[in-house]
Structure 1
Amino acid sequence: MLVEQATEKDTDVIARLIGEIEAYYGGPDSPADPAEIRNRLFGKQPVATVLLARDGDDVLGIASYSLLWPAVGADTSLYLKELFVRERARRRGVATALMEHVREAASAAGCARVEWTADRDNPAAAAFYTALGAEPLYGKAFYRLEQGL
């Protein structure tokens, strides 16, 4: 298995993965718009970095992250927005490999920490993150304000 940063040539597979992620969370399994993916990830102002885990030409999983500032004081943190492994590749070390690369990216960027959220009703994810040595934090509430800008 190889984990590497996605490039513009990966736009279509990323679009399909986004559809699979939506389906996993109960939405429709329809690919995202490749033009939107290309613009957001590889345009003038990229909003995230994507890592892909591959077995040859087969993409097994994805991790998407952004850098946040300030984290603590003037430190920077890496925020993991998405970690997803295709069903056929689960329990094969793909998520662990992706997380190791996320940690390496955080270190290379001089980040003080890696942060993420997980659904409370996903015990498999909670067990995986705990096995990595992460502890859930309960001191903050997660908020969302949706608006058409």
Structure 2
Amino acid sequence: MPAVDPSALPDSPFVHFSVRAASPGDANRLADLLQQLGEQDPRPDPTLLALRLAELPASREVLVAERDGKLLGTCTLNLIEHLAHDFARSAVVEDVVVDAGARGLGVGRALMEKAAERARAWGCYKLALSTHRDREAAHRFYEALGYRPHGISLALSLS
């Protein structure tokens, strides 16, 4: 029997969790969750995370999904004001991760909906994200939420 693709499972109406802004007290749990973005990468420093969460600029919001004290997912929303367009606003979502044990339960959808809600509250005309070209399940997930390919994303490594 073939393995079931978790992204194809329906959201469960029985799973309850909240989505809120991250706080410095989330730093240890957030570091563990962010480690799932790149298991080969070093674990984010919880002390630095706590410091940064305590002093976030108004143009950035870190969201977490939580149930019973466990972080199920996170994403970061960044506001951009475009000089060439009379300071029209857009937002970019980064660092989207749902705990491996919570995938397929609507956590990612809830985080992305909250990110869109916050971007609208900031007066943004669009919400953008990038994802690695090999993450086909993530592409299907974002497309199911209404995201469409837009331009080409290029990066220059500075290290």
Which amino acid is 2:22 matched to?
Answer: A
Aligned residue runs from structure 1 range 49-64, under 5 A: 49-64=61-76
- What is the CA–CA distance in structure 1 between the aligned matches of 2:110 and 2:155, rounded to whole Å? 30
Q: 2:63, 2:76 within 8 Å by CA — same for their partners in 1? A: yes
SS at match of 1:76: strand
Number of aligned residues: 142
Which structure 1 residue ranges, 4+ long, deviate > 6 Å from structure 2?
Answer: none
- What is the CA–CA distance in structure 2 between the aligned matches of 1:46 and 1:106, rounded to whole Å? 12
RMSD: 2.0
Aligned to 1:126: 139
1:19 aligns with 2:32: no
Q: 1:70, 1:76 within 8 Å by CA — same for their partners in 2? A: yes
Which amino acid is 1:119 matched to?
Answer: H
SS at match of 2:44: coil
Cα drift, residue 128 of structure 1: 0.7
Cα drift, residue 60 of structure 1: 0.6
TM-score by length of 1: 0.85
Aligned residue runs from structure 1 range 56-95, under 5 A: 56-70=68-82, 73=85, 74-95=87-108
Cα drift, residue 45 of structure 1: 4.9
More contact order relative to length (CA 8 Å, sep ≥ 6): 2
More moved, 12-21 vs 92-101: 12-21
Structure 1 alignment gaps of length 5 or more: none
Q: 2:25, 2:50 within 8 Å by CA — same for their partners in 1? A: no
Which amino acid is 2:135 matched to?
Answer: N
Aligned to 1:2: 18
Q: 1:36 to 1:63 in 2, by over 3 A?
A: same
Aligned to 1:35: 47
Structure 2 alignment gaps of length 5 or more: 1-16
Which amino acid is 2:96 matched to?
Answer: L
Q: 2:124 aligns with which of 74, 97, 111?
A: 111
- What is the CA–CA distance in structure 2 between the aligned matches of 1:109 and 1:71, rounded to whole Å? 16
Cα drift, residue 47 of structure 1: 7.4
